[in-house]
Amino acid sequence: MAELLKAARVCKRYPGGMAETPPAVEEVSLEVAEGEFIAIVGASGSGKSTFLNLLGCLDVPSSGAYFVGGEDTGKLPEPELARLRNRTFGFVFQGFHLLSRVSAVDNVALPLLYCRVPRRRRREKAQALLEQLGLGALGHRFPNQLSGGQQQRVAIARAMVNDPRVILADEPTGSLDSKTGREVMDILRDMNQRLGMTVVLVTHAPEVAEYARRLVRFVDGRVLEDRRVGAP
């Protein structure tokens, strides 16, 4: 598989006032190949979510280098970095982050608005994705009219609408009951297996990490373990 993402001795430090605070991420080197399904696990405060933000270009390293498709992101001005982020990544969060006054279909279509896709095409593509995820009849509803699992499916559809190369998911089942969480994970696994989409997720739940083919364990901002799991 071709290399898609590469972190080379990446560190992330945050200002700590008078006291020197340890890095949130320290000297992490990691490569992600096209089509992988990776679970990043670790205790709260281990640096896993910070590292996911670095992978998605939502934050920048304090030191080290990070490459997307062979391109050194540290050499890109913010407008180019934003374009790289928008065309490469789809984001799924624990808290859904849906706009409360916007229908499900318009929530899904929102990223296409920033790409200046015509309104009719935006809604057509958003509706098609909702239908794929079993929500075709609910596109007109607002987030408060949907269950937690339905809201997360809307969020996944929104993450997919720009045809990203990578889905980055931060605790995607954290706000859901176990049955609904399994349904959401089944969707992510299907996207990986059927569409070949690269999936990197952060989780503290062993039952969620079991869906991945590779497990990366963070402890105190460092990678303690990186191994293949499950079927080849």
25-81 pLDDT tens trace: 999 999 999 999 999 999 999 999 999 999 999 999 999 999 999 999 999 999 999
204 pLDDT more than 80: yes
CA distances from 153 to 39, 86, 106, 191, 197 (A): 19, 20, 14, 13, 17
Structure token pair of residue 136: 């075709």
Which residues are bridge partners to 90 per DSSP? 167
Mean pLDDT of the chain: 93
What is the pTM for the complete model shown?
Answer: 0.93
Taking the alpha carbons of 216, 161, 93, 88 in that order, is the dihedral positive or negative?
positive
Q: What is the pLDDT of residue 20?
A: 65
- Domains annotated for the chain, with CATH where assigned, are 3-228 (3.40.50.300)
Q: State the CB neighbour count (10 A cutoff) for residue 217.
A: 18
Is residue 159 within 8 A of residue 112, CB to CB? The reply is no
Residue 187, Cβ neighbours under 10 Å: how many? 20
Alpha carbons 171 and 53: distance in angstroms, whole number: 13
